[in-house]
Amino acid sequence: MQFGIRTLDEAELRGKTVLCRVDMNQPVDRAAGTLKSINRIRACVPTIRELCERGAKVVLLAHQGSDIEYKNFYSTEPHAKVLSELLGCEVQWIDDVCGPAAREKIKALHDGEILLLDNVRYVSEEQTLFEMKLRLTHEQQAKTLLVEKLAPLADMYVCDAFAAAHRDQPSLCGFEQVLPSYMGRLFEKEFCTVSRVMEQPDRPCVFVLGGAKISDAFLMMETVLGKGVADQVLTGGLVGNIFLAALGKQIGQGSLDFIYRSNYGEYIEKAEALYRRYGEKITLPCDLAWVTDGVRHEAELGDVPAEIAAIDIGEKTAEVYRTAILQAKTVFVNGPMGVFEQAPSEFGTRAVWQALAQTEGFTVLGGGDSITATEKYELTDKMGYICTGGGALIRFLSGEELPVIKALRHGASLCGK
Ligand code: ADP
Ligand code: MG
């Protein structure tokens, strides 16, 4: 038991049918019918391998979005192929989620065999809950089609999808109401690691917050500053620009236009309030970079031209951040320092990421683009911990009890030991 949740150490698996929810959602290339990355699939391997080696009949549940999240869902068929290769054994797949064909296939499984069902979001109750803000209690989720059809065929439920732990949906929170439930190894590892950052970070504890998902950054900043988790927050990307705008600094009309176009105007006021309370802990860029006709330019605050769009931190800021990161004992990172996808505006992200790789402090990094940057600079092995979840990680760090964690605690009480 960890945090009130059962681990696989406590599960009797031989001959048991296990419903295992994983998060293998990856960017897809629809035209080629392939996946652009297989990181999350790789991360699921230890749990699946353990379930299979310990003699369970493994039924995998997963979702797959498209380029636009929650729209144009994509099949999990390519995932089965990748998983087969990674595991070195056959992963069966069926183009059905909980209909008669899927149920027959589950019943026919032998010990140690693995079946991946098709995208759980093809079942309407899974997605309307999220997209339409229609809320079902966990008890009501247990009465959805997915849970009512699949739970009777299973002996237990294992959730390994920490990256989806903030989602309140039947495949994630419904089964725990009716089946003995456990967390998988990846879930356990991610949960323990991020709990450690939150509860007892080695100090100084520095947060590096950049990127473009402003609502997430602000949600987290209020908590980690309010609770005293963060000793210092280094800001970059759009987050940094918004703070600078809040303090009345010239960041260029292009930068402001981008903020308003992204509907983040209201955050300028929020940033001002946050800076008033915690200003001494929030470090802002002292110079900014922009690109015209493919050429990078930089200027210190005060000398930034009126019309530009700042898309990276400047070299001086990068050096200040680098020093802070090298002195830190814990570093949490979410969001790149600039538009790192293009060469002229990648300097800040590259410099900060290299400092992350060099620091002796423990680094925890999350977020899709932050992970992409880590891979781009070939620093994956140099980070302390790379979390598969972006949204879940941020909500966890902002102190929310995640729906899946609550459900798993309930499911632990059904284990009868
Ligand atoms: P993550 O996926 O790591 O959580 P985000 O999705 O929040 O990070 O942000 C990443 C995106 O932010 C990248 O596509 C990057 O190009 C963009 N970005 C970073 N800095 C800026 C900026 N100053 N202006 C506009 N976009 C930016
Ligand atoms: Mg992103």
> Which ligand is the nearest neighbour of the Cα of 210?
1
The answer on pLDDT for 103 being more than 60 is: yes
Is residue 213 in contact with ligand 1, taking CB distance under 6 Å? Answer: yes
Residue 137's Cβ-side half-sphere holds a number of Cα atoms within 13 Å equal to: 4
pTM for the structure as a whole:
0.84
The pLDDT of residue 45: 98
> Which ligand is the nearest neighbour of the Cα of 290?
1
Is residue 338 in contact with ligand 1, taking CB distance under 6 Å? Answer: yes
Q: What's the whole-number mean pLDDT along residues 198-216?
A: 92
Q: Token digits for 181? A: 């439930």
The pLDDT of residue 27: 80
Is residue 366 in contact with ligand 1, taking CB distance under 6 Å? Answer: no
The pLDDT of residue 67: 59
Q: Token digits for 280? A: 């001494």
Ligand 1 pocket test target in 339, 346, 363, 376 with most atoms within 8 Å of CB: 339
- Would you say 333 and 356 are in contact if contact means Cβ atoms under 8 Å apart? yes
Backbone angles phi and psi of 58, in degrees to 5: -100, 120
Nearest to 326 by CA among 393, 232, 228, 196: 232
Average pLDDT score, the chain = 93
CA-CA distance, 330 to 341, in Å (whole number)? Answer: 27
| CA 169 to centroid of ligand 2, rounded, Å | 22
| CA 117 to centroid of ligand 2, rounded, Å | 27
| CA 90 to centroid of ligand 2, rounded, Å | 33
Which of 124-138, 154-168, 312-326 is least confident? 124-138
Is residue 368 in contact with ligand 1, taking CB distance under 6 Å? Answer: yes
> Which ligand is the nearest neighbour of the Cα of 69?
2
The pLDDT of residue 128: 63
The pLDDT of residue 133: 66
Q: Whose CA is nearest to atom 8 of ligand 1?
A: 335
The pLDDT of residue 28: 84
